Structure 1
């Protein structure tokens, strides 16, 4: 992974005026080479500074979400896998709120596209999905662009405290009502007896 990031730095430095475009494209293509979005956001802060790095990261992450929106509909196996993963992690009838997705994006080991999938299930239309995907990407880009260098210097205890605080925030921002359709509720009751 260090080689890929070194390649990114060289490409950006040689790119000149095309460097922001190359960075945004790298953000979009990073999923193919399995680089977490946080690392690319940190690199954006180093290369372009806080303001431009955050802006370019938001654009790259939003294009990534747009790409996911169109591709997931053409991949039914992946759609089913993400649906099963969502049910396993969050429960069958639990829908994540936009606030929860925003906070969960800050936790490094939460699957980025699983959160995109949760947004897609909640907001079916392209306009709503893209709006909320952009909103949830802003704290991710901002946090990791600014604080990325400092996070690596945190002690393990501090990291556990931060993760615990984020988990509490996810719980507080949860959806307070669960709606189960009549047929689904009685289908489960019928299967149990």
Structure 2
């Protein structure tokens, strides 16, 4: 644990401009790497602290949303896939306000870009879409970045215990998902 803290301190001190730029870029390329946005928020709290982590996360999420907006306009197959996901999860005619989407973004198991798609559908133009994306990202950035910052205050034994405690949950939820997938294929 001390080695990790030393490495984080080294990144903070020696790469004062590069680290924030890489962090924001990581938000933009996060969907390609299949990294959950919650992990990036938590990492922001760990590496930069609460206020800089929140600011950098919001900047990164807004840039990621802008990229998503452009991809959605250019790739109709991608849009059709998101429409099917939306129909399965919320219903075909579901329309949500920015505040509702902000609350749903606090739930880490809901597909982040599906929620961005709901904003996309309800926005008449790019400016409105970016504003809604910005406002809906604030609560999740605050909550998960604060969690990341608070982890730095945990003792190494508590951190190790939490990780060990989460491993069985990972496998339990993984097995449940596999059972559901098998049932879907047998229909």
| Count of equivalent residues | 147
List aligned pairs for 1:1-193, cutoff 5 A: 12=11, 15-148=15-148, 149=150
User: Conserved in 1, the CA contact under 8 Å of 2:105 and 2:140?
Assistant: yes
Q: Which has the higher helix share?
A: 2
Structure 1 length normalisation: TM-score?
Answer: 0.70
Q: Report the Cα distance in structure 1 between the residues aligned to 2:10 and 2:111, rounded to whole angstroms.
A: 27
Question: C-alpha offsets along residues 109-163 of structure 1, whole Å, 9 cap, x if unaligned?
Answer: 100000000000001300100001000001111110002456x95x99xxxxxxx
- Quick one: distance in 2 between partners of 1:70 and 1:52? 27
Secondary structure at the aligned position of 2:109 is classed as coil
| Counterparts of 1:37 and 1:141, CA distance in 2 | 9
SS in structure 1 at match of 2:31:
coil
Q: CA RMSD in A?
A: 2.4
Asked if the contact 1:12/1:23 (under 8 Å) is kept, the reply is no
Matches of 1:12 and 1:106 in 2, distance apart?
28
Query: For 1:83-126, what per-residue CA distance to the aligned partner results, in whole angstroms no more than 9, with x for missing partners?
Result: 11111111112211111100110101100000000000001300
Deviates more, 1:33-42 or 1:88-97: 88-97
Structure 1 range deviating more: 100-109 or 14-23: 14-23
Q: Contact 1:11–1:22 at 8 Å: present in 2 too?
A: no
Q: Could you tell me how far apart the structure 1 residues matched to 2:9 and 2:26 are?
A: 13
Structure 1: 4+ residue segments shifted above 4 A: 8-14
Is the 2:45–2:147 contact (alpha carbons within 8 Å) kept by the matching residues of 1?
no
Q: TM-score, normalised by structure 2?
A: 0.72
Distance 1:40 1:11, change over 3 A: farther
Offset, 1:15: 3.0
For residues 30 and 93 of structure 1, what CA distance do their matches in structure 2 show? 29
Q: Distance in 1 between matches of 2:31 and 2:9?
A: 20
Contact 1:42 1:146 in 2 (8 A): yes
Q: How far did 1:12 drift?
A: 4.5
